[in-house]
Amino acid sequence: MHQHIALTALLVADYDEAIDFYAGKLGFTLAEDRALTPGKRWVVVRPPGAQESGLLLAKASEERQWHAIGDQSGGRVFLFLHTDDFDRDHAAFIDRGVRFLEEPRHEAYGTVAVFEDLYGNRWDLIGPTAGPSRRSLAGDTPN
């Protein structure tokens, strides 16, 4: 059996500003952008090289959703972006204006630094340690 999480819905205030951040600042690919109804679109972005996972940028449509923008995880790190070259991506993100909340640190699972997206959701940028000792990151970071 093979299963995977295909998409994670991320509440956004505006489709185009979210696309600008994820495609422009993080270098994600805009995989889909199609109108569903007036004012509602199906917008999917994927990290470079990703084929099985992506973010569904979902524009908030009611008060409860508007209040959750930028705080979908109660202030904890929400999403974990693995990279094959931490130094390259960390430097590129800084050059493009991505806000990091800490300096890179070295953990048993790899090099990591927390950054915020345009709405304040916290992300881990992670350059995983190679080899069989690599472990699940769920809950491993203190943020």
**Does position 137 have pLDDT exceeding 70, yes or no?**
no
Give the pLDDT confidence of 35-56 residue by residue, as tens digits: 999 999 999 999 999 999 999 9
- Residue 132 and residue 99 share a domain: yes
Residue 112 pLDDT > 90 = yes
User: Residue 23 is part of which domain span?
Assistant: 1-69
CATH number of the structural domain spanning residue 98: 3.10.180.10
Percent over 90 (pLDDT), the chain: 87
R_g of the chain computed on alpha carbons: 16
Residue appearing with tokens 């909340």: 101
Are both 84 and 131 inside the same structural domain? Answer: yes
Where a domain ends, among 52, 69, 86?
69
Q: Quick check: 140 pLDDT over 80?
A: no
Q: What is the pLDDT of residues 50-87, one digit of tens each?
A: 999 999 999 999 999 999 999 999 999 999 999 999 99
CA-nearest of 44, 111, 43, 57 to 83 is 111
One domain for residues 142 and 96: yes
Average pLDDT along the chain: 92
For position 143, what pLDDT does the model report? 52
**Are 94 and 60 contained in the same domain?**
no
Query: Do 136 and 122 share a domain, yes or no?
Result: yes
109 and 68 Cβ atoms separated by less than 8 Å: no
